Structure 1
Amino acid sequence: MTSDTRAVHKNLKWWDILLLTLMIMGYPVIRSVSGFLLRFCRLGDDSYLHDLFGDNRVAVVSTSCLFGLALLYLYLRRYDFSGVKLFLAPEVLFVSIFLFLAAALMTDVYLLVCHTAGGFFHLSALLGRFEGLLAAKPLPAFEMLSFIYAIVCGFTEEIFYLGFCLSVSENKMIPAFIYTQLIRFFSHTDQGVCFALGIALIWGTVFYCFYRFYPKASKRNLLPFCIAHVISSMLGHGILSYLTVL
């Protein structure tokens, strides 16, 4: 009986990342692009989208299973998981809230600019819907299923974006980052081009820069980014509309 002597490796190949994209982000991208084409490009009736993609129970199960399949693939590829760290630390909660607030405030300012530009150039139908952008609104009611779905999405997506996709050699880091931006964009186009760009340019860039350049490589922790993603999934990607309630 012979043992498997293949060495584990930290860097993934481009086809590894492509396969992981199909497994982890294929469902969100298809849902988002379908919604964009039907809703904003007027290619058909979008009323069935909620029935097709709106069941959080199906989404939780399918996302979890596909992420498990991705982990199995990486295990068989002898990927070194030690580079993808999630651990509790005293600063985790503070950093999570800081990341959310910083990105949310920038998103609010960005969407206000998009709203103004969209109205001026008559592009609101394409850029997205901004009615009541800063209108006061209460915190959303807590729903356990939505919370579970937010946790699943927050952890699987940030592990994909910041963990797996950035598992490349240093000279390929910028192309990998640009690729994650494209996937972030296409997974949010159902909410409008402007909003999707904001998610990529603001949230993607803030997360990437903070993850890559703030802590030492040995202390990089994905947990704050996953938690910040969960918060945004529950509350939305802006914060000013909640502050106007006060």
Structure 2
Amino acid sequence: MKSAKRPLTYLDFVVLSFIFFGYFAYVSVVGYIHEPAPDPILASSFSDDANWSSILIELTFLVAAGIYLWWRKFDVKLLDFSVNKMTLPMVIGLLIVGGLTTDLVLYGSYGISTGGNSFIPDATQAQTDLFAHISIALLLFAVVNGFYEELFFMGLTFAVLPKHRLYALISSVFVRFIFHIYQGLWSAVAIAMMGVVFIALRQKIKSITPFAIAHAVFDVFGAGIIFLFL
């Protein structure tokens, strides 16, 4: 008799956390400890070589996660990547709400720590040419990384058994924080807070697709929107 497909336990979630982000969390923490605090605007900028390398690493970990999920007889029907007429409006809404959340945390923390708003001119200078940094490697990385991260955060986390899901959601915010800490403490806090907002919106948005697309846009232009209008 064929075994029934099933959702994830919290232990499955922990194992998958290490598969998806164990390496990245280690590199992020080491970078945060040994490097000076990065510019919160430019911290997410990578070379094309780094982007290609990240794509290869993420695809490798996706294969490992797929093998684990197959072994655990995970019910893939719990992952909804559907697209419909509301997908684009939802993406735009996520970009606005998510971007404003990260901006609020970053601008607020910078204003408190410096007593001024010199963060804004720095951001303007960093975004002199909004499209100058875009390359094929960056675009492909954004697509892969958007899918990779939100498959885990908005997909697998919500596929955990209801009795364990709250623990998984809380843990997912910490995971999102820790592997972004290389960008600086407040940038990691801002991204974690955006994760909290995404979790709240995920209660109403069943498809993972809008989150993956919005994440990909953030990977290309940065997780904020105020800079675009300065």
- Residue 168 of structure 2 is matched in structure 1 by 176
Question: Of the candidates 203, 207, 210, which is equivalent to residue 221 of structure 1?
Answer: 207
Residue 53 of structure 2 corresponds to residue 61 of structure 1: no
Residue 109 of structure 2 corresponds to residue 75 of structure 1: no
Identity of aligned residues (%): 25
Per the TM alignment, residue 209 of structure 1 is displaced from its structure 2 partner at its CA by 0.9
Larger radius of gyration: 1
Per the TM alignment, residue 40 of structure 1 is displaced from its structure 2 partner at its CA by 3.7
TM-score of the two chains, using structure 1 as the length reference: 0.81
- Residue 235 of structure 1 is matched in structure 2 by 221
Q: Distance in 2 between matches of 1:184 and 1:140?
A: 27
- Residue 36 of structure 1 is matched in structure 2 by 32
Q: Distance in 1 between matches of 2:174 and 2:124?
A: 30
Aligned residues: 218
Secondary structure at 1:6 match in 2: coil
Residue 8 of structure 2 corresponds to residue 8 of structure 1: no
Residue 22 of structure 2 corresponds to residue 26 of structure 1: yes
Per the TM alignment, residue 74 of structure 1 is displaced from its structure 2 partner at its CA by 0.4
- Residue 199 of structure 2 is matched in structure 1 by 208
Letter in 2 for 1:73: Y
Aligned structure 1 segments of 4 or more residues deviating by more than 6 angstroms: none
Letter in 2 for 1:92: T
Structure 2 unaligned residues grouped into runs of 5+: 38-45
Bigger drift between 163-172 and 174-183 goes to 163-172
Per the TM alignment, residue 228 of structure 1 is displaced from its structure 2 partner at its CA by 0.5
Secondary structure at 1:153 match in 2: helix
Q: Note if contact 1:134-1:240 (Cα within 8 Å) is conserved in structure 2.
A: no
Q: Distance in 1 between matches of 2:221 and 2:195?
A: 18
Q: CA RMSD in A?
A: 2.3
Letter in 2 for 1:17: F
Instruction: Summarize the alignment of residues 92-171 of structure 1 with structure 2, pairs less than 5 Å apart.
Output: 92-120=87-115, 130=119, 132-135=121-124, 137=127, 138-141=129-132, 142-171=134-163
Question: Which structure ranks higher in relative contact order (CA pairs < 8 Å, sequence separation ≥ 6)?
Answer: 2
Q: Distance in 1 between matches of 2:92 and 2:65?
A: 29
Per the TM alignment, residue 118 of structure 1 is displaced from its structure 2 partner at its CA by 1.6
Secondary structure at 1:135 match in 2: helix
- Residue 124 of structure 1 is matched in structure 2 by none
Per the TM alignment, residue 130 of structure 1 is displaced from its structure 2 partner at its CA by 4.7
Secondary structure at 2:23 match in 1: helix
Q: Distance in 1 between matches of 2:92 and 2:122?
A: 22
Per the TM alignment, residue 134 of structure 1 is displaced from its structure 2 partner at its CA by 4.0
Q: Note if contact 2:10-2:167 (Cα within 8 Å) is conserved in structure 1.
A: no
Q: Note if contact 1:25-1:157 (Cα within 8 Å) is conserved in structure 2.
A: no
Structure 1 unaligned residues grouped into runs of 5+: 42-49, 121-128
Q: Note if contact 2:13-2:160 (Cα within 8 Å) is conserved in structure 1.
A: no
Per the TM alignment, residue 65 of structure 1 is displaced from its structure 2 partner at its CA by 1.4
Residue 8 of structure 2 corresponds to residue 17 of structure 1: no
Q: Distance in 2 between matches of 1:243 and 1:130?
A: 15
Bigger drift between 223-232 and 131-140 goes to 131-140
